[in-house]
Homo-oligomer: A and B are copies of this chain.
């Protein structure tokens, strides 16, 4: 059985990462690629690193024939995705990598994204794509909304702790370090090599980063009461990788035990021995998440470090994992690539 796949928005980094992963997937075949401004170009021109693959030429979305497509990945910019997905055939399974369908509440969407949602029915239908926590819903879903990459890194560390009640819900702080590919391939002065290399700074600090909408939604839902965290992202001079340093009040050993037992049978979430903390290098290019726990010298305070590759487990790898579930394929298919180091 081979499933026919379309990738909308294939000229960006997450689109290319999907192609890279699907290249060795034994049951998926890419039949259509869209790239609006680059329609008519081959992928070898847009991404020479994919030159060895036999891939369809980039098209405009409206020129794609979806009748033979089983599943579409939608890797388009935020806001654009709503109208595009609304226009796709209802028979199509869709994994959306944008932010458009992550938030359940239209008011929250408007608050964080600054405009009203235009497709509230689709918003209601979409399943939140954090695989390890919505697996059964995703299996049955037609439309899955991939999580924010930062939101994924933070939730892997925190969801089991909130559920187990082992941390103080009013004192959660995430100081996050993110590689630059998370900002996408758009030509902006602040993303130039000369601006970004050899230094670091915060971005969207002070509680303004949009992934807070996801944290609020998921943490509050799980806790059964409002939970607000502090979250300060930093941009680092590296291409891939997210490291979330999560500060909580709670017993370190209990926290480690909780994570260890929760993730025991999860193939992609790896809890390190107590006191060992992970590096982003150890998950680069892979779908793995490494989690480490250490107690602070101040009793009752614990630091959890969560690392993922933003383009893989944080975006395209997660999307493929969800697509596997939606198509009834074994969940890890095409995703067992080892990280690449150095």
Contacts and interface: CB of A to CB of B under 8 A. Distances in A.
- Chain B CB within 10 Å, residue with most, of A200, A202, A272: A200
A342 B195 contact: yes
B243 A342 contact: no
17 contacts: A23-B336, A24-B337, A49-B282, A50-B338, A51-B290, A52-B338, A175-B175, A195-B342, A199-B238, A199-B279, A201-B243, A201-B280, A206-B296, A207-B297, A228-B298, A230-B247, A237-B238
The residue in A188, A245, A270 that gathers the most chain B C-beta atoms within 10 A of its C-beta is A245
Contact of A194 (B51, B206, B236, B239): B239
A177 B280 CA distance: 14
A30 B247 CA distance: 39
Contacts of A285: 285, 340
A290 to B, nearest CB: 7
B49 A206 contact: no
Interface string A89-114: 00000000000000000000000000
A196 B286 CA distance: 18
B341 A237 contact: no
Given A199-B238, A230-B247, A285-B285, 11 more contacts: A49-B281, A49-B340, A49-B341, A52-B338, A187-B187, A197-B198, A197-B239, A200-B280, A201-B281, A202-B245, A205-B277
Contact of A199 (B199, B206, B281): B281
Interface in A264-301: 267, 270, 272, 275, 277-286, 288, 290, 294-298, 301
A9 interface: no
Q: How large is the interface on A (under 10, 10 to 19, 20 to 34, 35 or more residues)?
A: 35 or more
B234 A237 contact: no
Interface in A198-250: 198-202, 205-208, 212, 228, 230, 232, 234, 236-241, 243, 245, 247
Contacts of A196: 193
A201 B230 CA distance: 21
A134 interface: no
Contacts of A308: none
A83 interface: no
B337 A201 contact: no
A342 B180 CA distance: 10
B198 A240 contact: yes
A228 B297 contact: yes
A262 interface: no
